[in-house]
Structure 1
Amino acid sequence: MTTHQRPVVFIHGLWLHATSWDPWVELFREMGYAPVAPGWPREADTVAAARERAEDVAGLGIDDVTNHYAAIIDGLPEAPVLVGHSFGGLIAEKLLGQGKAAAAVAIDPAQIKGVLPLPLAQLRAGLPALGNPANRNRAVSLTAKEFRFGFGNAVSEEESDALFERWTIPSPAKPLFQAAAANFSLHSEAAVDTDNSTRGPLLLISGLEDHTVPDVVTRSTLKQYRSSTALTELRQFEGRGHSLTIDGGWSEVAKAVLGWLDEHGL
């Protein structure tokens, strides 16, 4: 595995707290990395506190979060590996395109500008936020039923409910609105420098049963990188939904990421 403690920065997406990465952080530390999982700007340190202070994160947009992580990266001893899930995956792609990382792994990444497919399941998963235009500058919470459809559809209802209780927090709705309008905005914050050929390797991961970011969206994301000569790869996981980073099968995905990093000397 790695011969030194390369930094790894984990970036969560909407509706999950930063501590949902704790099992990954522990595993990566055991494997010789120096992992951190910082929260989004103004995110409380615990799930309970984040639920009590929902409006602290209201109005945060993609660039706010990206710049927050860029500042964290600037304080590290060397360029890190980024591992992002959902909107965290989109942010990891942005930072990689900006030359801020040695490599990135984007797991079920939110759609970037240029991605056209918009499956019905994805529309339904986004309705808790997108269903009301007034939500744009608000923080929005999911119900257990909404989480079950968007995250936990590939696990049992019992496991989905347990994950909901353990990890979910209110999140800003603005990134969803930005991504939804990206292809109609000249300077969208969901834009990524997909043409950059000097960036580090990128691994896209897709859960084939994902409702929030269906596989067709991730495959379309892969196509956006066709003009870059930098390494871009896709790994698909059968029978896995959007909860693949936190459910009982998380270690399968984490070990695949570790294997990919080892394969590329990272």
Structure 2
Amino acid sequence: MTTDRLPVVFVHGLWLHADSWTPWVGLFREAGYEPQAPGWPGDSPTVDETRANADRVAGVGIDAVVDHYAGILRDLDTPPIVVGHSFGGLIVQRLLGQSLAAAAVALDPAPIKGVLFLPPSSLRVASIALRNPANRGRAVALTREQFRYGFGNALPQQESDALYERWAIPSPGRPLFEVAFANLNPSSPAKVDTRNATRGPLLLTLGGKDHTVAPAIVRTTARLYRKSPAVTELRQYPDRGHSLGIDSGWHIVADDVLAWLRARGF
């Protein structure tokens, strides 16, 4: 079915189910867009099913996720806006760099190739998978305490625990290995075409208290785009953590994204 509404595709990252975008999908639909939030390859339709069938996502890497979403984008009548969080933020940068999207928003995006320094807090979160080489082919789940450190550190304990119970799922460990060794691999799947001069606009965000994607990572990512004349902007939320798109303050970020898109003519 065709529609004159501009499509928006939301892309989740590691350890959160696609349903975590439900409030954003509702808001964007009310704003006049045609949004959807497909899961990664192997994800089940619900959080509980994904938790019960974690092996289905085991071994899924960045290229497979990009190809999955690229297929979804190509089936649309018009190039969409893509919005991703964490590893989803890396995925939407690749899709934008390949000129498959009209514009992209990367919320606290995972490091792309060229980001050389990973702060200790980011290494601590990544080590959940990286400490065991076998996790490259496995699904990895967070404990409540690990989720609290990686996502909910800027929140009250009760809110962090509630988000964990509602949205957290096991995710493939492979993308973390691919990012960890990106700068040693000339054909790394974490490589983004940051020099694409004809791509649509890109908005990057960072949370000043983010442990998973520390602020220095996003600032470095923004600098990697300096050789492209295409629009790249950085929005900072000093008091927010990695949960900025799903916690009680999600609406602030979502409203800012909508305002940015409107200002860019979308």
- The residue number in structure 1 matching 2:12 is 12
Gaps of 5+ in 2: none
Q: Which runs of 4+ in 1 moved over 3 A?
A: none
1:262 and 2:262 correspond: yes
- The residue number in structure 1 matching 2:101 is 101
- The residue number in structure 1 matching 2:202 is 202
State the shift of 1:133 in Å: 1.0
Tell me the secondary structure at the aligned position of residue 35 of structure 1. Answer: strand
Distance between the aligned counterparts of 2:255 and 2:154, measured in 1? Answer: 20
- The residue number in structure 2 matching 1:111 is 111
Distance between the aligned counterparts of 1:96 and 1:33, measured in 2? Answer: 19
State the shift of 1:183 in Å: 0.4
Identity fraction in percent = 60
- The residue number in structure 2 matching 1:250 is 250
- The residue number in structure 2 matching 1:185 is 185
Matches within 5 A, 1:85-96: 85-96=85-96
Gaps of 5+ in 1: none
One-letter amino acid matched to 1:139: A
Distance between the aligned counterparts of 2:155 and 2:126, measured in 1? Answer: 20
Give the alignment's TM-score, normalised by structure 2: 0.98
- The residue number in structure 2 matching 1:128 is 128
Distance between the aligned counterparts of 1:164 and 1:179, measured in 2? Answer: 24
State the shift of 1:42 in Å: 1.6
CA RMSD of aligned residues (A): 0.5
State the shift of 1:238 in Å: 1.6
- The residue number in structure 2 matching 1:173 is 173
Tell me the secondary structure at the aligned position of residue 9 of structure 1. Answer: strand
- The residue number in structure 2 matching 1:40 is 40
- The residue number in structure 2 matching 1:231 is 231
Tell me the secondary structure at the aligned position of residue 134 of structure 1. Answer: helix
Distance between the aligned counterparts of 2:215 and 2:27, measured in 1? Answer: 27
- How many residues align? The count is 263
- The residue number in structure 1 matching 2:79 is 79
- The residue number in structure 1 matching 2:53 is 53
One-letter amino acid matched to 2:148: R
One-letter amino acid matched to 1:229: P
State the shift of 1:111 in Å: 0.1
State the shift of 1:102 in Å: 0.2
Task: Spell out, residue by residue over 1:192-227, the C-alpha distance to the aligned partner (whole angstroms, 9 max, x if none).
Answer: 000000000000010110000011000000011011
Distance between the aligned counterparts of 2:41 and 2:135, measured in 1? Answer: 19
State the shift of 1:126 in Å: 1.2
Tell me the secondary structure at the aligned position of residue 176 of structure 1. Answer: helix
Task: Spell out, residue by residue over 1:55-93, the C-alpha distance to the aligned partner (whole angstroms, 9 max, x if none).
Answer: 000000000000000000011110000000000000000
Distance between the aligned counterparts of 2:44 and 2:162, measured in 1? Answer: 21
